[in-house]
């Protein structure tokens, strides 16, 4: 029996370790978490309703601002839903450029997740700057593709905004040659680190059953040993042409969630190398008018984002704007088991766990 009196503490919404404007209402018995309530809504911008007042092309800029460290993949999920509405066929080169952009974005997102997890662990600044060093190279490639680095708006219904310039390809090749060394460096510094192992191994587990019941996807689900990746189980674009593996964990703990992202960066490099060898000249966009009017109907487009299944459900009434738009955001669903992960653990474990599930509040609140 505890000798202390339970106390309820608000963590956030301003706290940097809540990864944005997110509030946790936590009841502690000493340092032990006995109850927890997540509170969302501080970043709600009404993206789904705004989409219903914009043309299909204009909505692309809204998708950039959901998971704003994964803008390319947000673009991809949305335009795939649009293309399903009217069965638009994307030219082969356009699909290759989309895949290149998406896998570069996956690496960039996992670099952010890894850097900030280590920051939450107390390894201030240095590991994060190492991860940002490589991410900058990816953002340089994005700037070559479309002139933007973060909110890119690169993809379009039927393909991409424009072809890659000539100077993109040597820079891309250099990145593919150099990046494996840096991932090796991360593993060398981190995977055997005694402090990291003590803080992450066996901590804040989620079971396969809990994850599936909560509709959790992405690295958090795969950390439980369940191999589920839409690029394999429901291939889109041209992913069925590539040879790559799906890393999975065993314990569903903080370490598995961290380590899977390192392994997924290697698999993304495998895909990118195959894209580099296979891409051929040709058009990059189908002939789709700017004021795109799909026939009346509905469609759901989904992709494997760095955080899990990202989906857009669109309803068309035959006009130039979606009649309805609904977003399935993995960050929101991955948070749905946060209570099961944290109750029975301590305050320090809570901060680390928030880092390990890699949430983005722009995608949670929409």
> Alpha helices of the chain — where are they, by DSSP H?
47-51, 59-64, 71-86, 92-121, 126-146, 168-190, 194-200, 208-213, 218-222, 230-233, 254-278, 330-334, 338-342, 347-357, 361-365
Q: How many whole angstroms separate alpha carbon 307 and alpha carbon 101?
A: 16
Residue 271 is predicted with a pLDDT of: 96
Residue 299 is predicted with a pLDDT of: 94
Reply yes or no on whether the pLDDT at 157 is more than 90: yes
Q: What is the pLDDT of residues 333-360, one digit of tens each?
A: 988 888 888 998 888 888 888 888 888 8
What average pLDDT does this structure show over 299-328?
93
Q: Which residues are bridge partners to 35 per DSSP?
A: 27
pTM given for the model: 0.93
Residue 3 is predicted with a pLDDT of: 61
Reply yes or no on whether the pLDDT at 176 is more than 90: yes
7-365 CATH choice from 1.10.645.10, 3.20.20.150, 2.60.120.10, 3.40.50.1100: 1.10.645.10
2 confidence band (pLDDT: 50, 70, 90): low
Q: What is the pLDDT of residues 251-288, one digit of tens each?
A: 888 899 999 999 999 999 999 999 999 999 999 999 98
Cα angle value 228/359/30 (rounded, 5°): 115
Cα angle value 286/290/293 (rounded, 5°): 90
Structure tokens at 190: 């981190």
Q: What is the pLDDT of residues 184-221, one digit of tens each?
A: 988 888 888 888 888 888 878 888 998 899 899 999 99
Structure tokens at 85: 């509405």
What average pLDDT does this structure show over 44-70?
91
Q: How many whole angstroms separate alpha carbon 169 and alpha carbon 360?
A: 31
Residue 43 is predicted with a pLDDT of: 80
Structure tokens at 136: 């900058």
Closest by Cα among 241, 138, 262, 257 to 205: 257
Q: How many whole angstroms separate alpha carbon 356 and alpha carbon 80?
A: 29
Residue 18 is predicted with a pLDDT of: 67
Per the prediction, the chain carries an average pLDDT of 90
């Amino acid at each position: 029996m505890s000798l202390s009196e339970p106390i309820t503490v608000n963590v956030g919404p301003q706290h940097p370790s809540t990864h944005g404007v997110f509030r946790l209402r936590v009841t502690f018995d000493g340092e032990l978490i006995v109850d927890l309530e997540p509170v969302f809504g501080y970043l709600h911008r009404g993206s789904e309703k705004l989409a219903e007042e914009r043309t299909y092309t204009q909505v692309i800029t809204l998708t950039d601002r959901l998971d704003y460290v994964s803008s390319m993949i947000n673009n991809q999920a949305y335009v795939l839903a649009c293309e399903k509405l009217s069965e638009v066929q994307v030219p082969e080169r356009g699909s290759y450029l989309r895949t290149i952009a998406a896998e570069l974005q996956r690496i960039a997102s996992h670099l952010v997740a890894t850097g900030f997890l280590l920051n939450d662990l107390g390894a201030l600044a240095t590991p994060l700057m190492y991860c940002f060093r490589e991410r900058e190279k990816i953002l340089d490639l994005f700037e070559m593709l479309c002139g933007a680095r973060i909110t890119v708006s690169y993809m379009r219904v039927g393909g991409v905004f424009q072809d890659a310039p000539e100077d993109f390809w040597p820079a891309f090749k250099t990145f593919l040659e150099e990046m494996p060394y840096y991932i090796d460096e991360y593993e060398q510094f981190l995977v055997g680190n005694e402090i990291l192992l003590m803080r992450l191994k066996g901590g804040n587990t989620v079971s396969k059953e809990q994850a599936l019941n909560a509709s959790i996807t992405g690295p958090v689900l795969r950390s439980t040993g369940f191999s589920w990746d839409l690029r394999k189980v429901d291939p889109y674009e041209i992913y069925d042409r590539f040879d790559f593996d799906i890393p999975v964990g065993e314990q569903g703990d903080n370490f598995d969630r961290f380590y899977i992202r390192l392994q997924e960066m290697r698999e993304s490099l495998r895909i990118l190398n195959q894209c580099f060898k296979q891409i051929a000249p040709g058009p990059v966009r189908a002939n789709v008018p700017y004021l795109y009017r799909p026939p009346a109907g509905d469609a759901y487009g989904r992709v494997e984002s760095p955080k899990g299944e990202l989906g857009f459900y669109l309803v068309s009434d035959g006009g130039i704007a979606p009649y309805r738009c609904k977003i399935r955001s993995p960050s929101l669903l991955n948070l749905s088991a946060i209570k099961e992960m944290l109750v029975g653990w301590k305050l320090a474990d809570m901060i680390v766990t928030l880092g390990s599930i890699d949430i983005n509040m722009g995608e949670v609140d929409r």
